[in-house]
Amino acid sequence: QVQLVESGGGLVQAGGSLRLSCAASGRYTMGWFRQAPGKEREFVAAISRSGGSTYYADSVKGRFTISRDNAKNTVYLQMNSLKPEDTAVYYCAADRRLGVPTRSYDYEFWGQGTQVTVSS
């Protein structure tokens, strides 16, 4: 069973930064998703197993960076220039198959989520 443990969420003012971490029990394709109250879960970013390929939602391009440290089986989401509309519960997800999916239903395993709140 794949285990994912997220950390790094919190409260930050608009324009600030946060870094989320997701420690996995192995090396997988990884993605970050978020879900705001009353909204559907949406794709944020994804990274291949090697780290050579990354994908971003248009809403976060240029502000968020996904990266990984394969020696630690950990994936990061560096979030800069945060906006109030980035407020959500952020989830990391893992998939054992090849490819880098951007749809939530393509991911097999999910973390428990971490709250990110951006105040205006």
Task: State pLDDT tens for residues 69-120.
Answer: 999 999 999 999 999 999 999 999 999 988 889 999 999 999 999 999 999 9
Query: CA of 32: how far to CAs of 11, 20, 59, 112, in Å?
Result: 18, 10, 13, 12
Rounded CA separation 26/71 (Å): 10
Task: State pLDDT tens for residues 46-76.
Answer: 999 999 999 999 999 999 999 999 999 999 9
Positive or negative: CA dihedral 4, 37, 31, 74: negative
Rounded CA separation 18/83 (Å): 12
